[in-house]
Amino acid sequence: MKLSIVIPVYNERRTIEEVLRRVLAVRLGALKKEIIVVDDCSRDGTREWLRGRRLPGVKVFFHEENRGKGSALRTGFARAAGDIVLVQDADLEYDPREYPLLLQPILDGRADVVYGSRFQGGTHRVLFFWHYVGNKLLTTFCNMMSNLNLTDMETCYKVFKKDVLNRVALKSKRFGFEPEVTIKLARLRCRIYEVPISYSGRDYSEGKKIGWKDGVAAVVHILRYGLFG
């Protein structure tokens, strides 16, 4: 079996090298892995750094214009050759050493999809109260529309069996990917598991990009996909 790790990247020059080092260092036993990096037209030197490197096991694709995280993920998913697909952000907030924990429910045959939850007791950096409240409200609203009981819909760490992911027609260009994929997976009656993960969140001075406008957009996406498919 093979694991495809899809990393969407936009203006992450300060962290991309370390993220790739950590992902490459993960040992998964007999499970092979490929790493797919999709640069979403970065303008901070990330693009040039990626073009200048030859990293074994890493495939790099470039968008010629900024399309958003959802578009970058679709590009990566379309090129994934693995039996399992895992989403990894490029900002050092999530720890690749937790891949075995995320993969186990799928490898055991219990799950089709696994979400890594930041709110189930894992070690986490203490940051913004209103981000926490916003995350909980969006997750609750998405649960109402999908009839799930997730604790962290907005988490980066989502792992899919590739044959399941192939059945989901994704459309979102930006952060609407999170509620869209969640609601559509629920409609397919996929077996979804959550596992606790650690979280080293960053603040805006460290490059965090998501803001209140993305929260409003997420509500719109939840309504759109929850009511109209």
pLDDT in tens, 34-57: 999 999 999 999 999 999 988 888
Q: 3: closest CA among 107, 73, 144, 95?
A: 107
CATH code of 203's domain: 3.90.550.10
Report pLDDT digits (tens) over 185-194. Answer: 999 999 999 9
* Distance in angstroms (rounded) separating the CA atoms of residues 177 and 44: 24
At CA 117, angle to CA 80 and CA 138, rounded to 5?
A: 95
- pLDDT value at position 55? 87
pLDDT at 217 over 90: no
Averaged pLDDT of the chain: 91
Q: How many domains does the chain have?
A: 1
Report pLDDT digits (tens) over 99-157. Answer: 999 999 999 999 999 999 998 876 766 566 777 788 899 999 999 999 999 999 999 99
Report pLDDT digits (tens) over 194-212. Answer: 999 999 875 555 545 566 6
pLDDT at 178 over 80: yes
Bridge partner residues of 171 (DSSP): none
Domain span holding position 146: 2-228
Judged by DSSP in three states, 117 sits in strand
- pLDDT value at position 54? 86
> What's the rounded mean pLDDT across residues 70-92?
97
Q: 97: closest CA among 8, 13, 28, 186?
A: 28
Most confident segment among 1-10, 173-182, 205-214: 1-10
Amino acid at 194: E
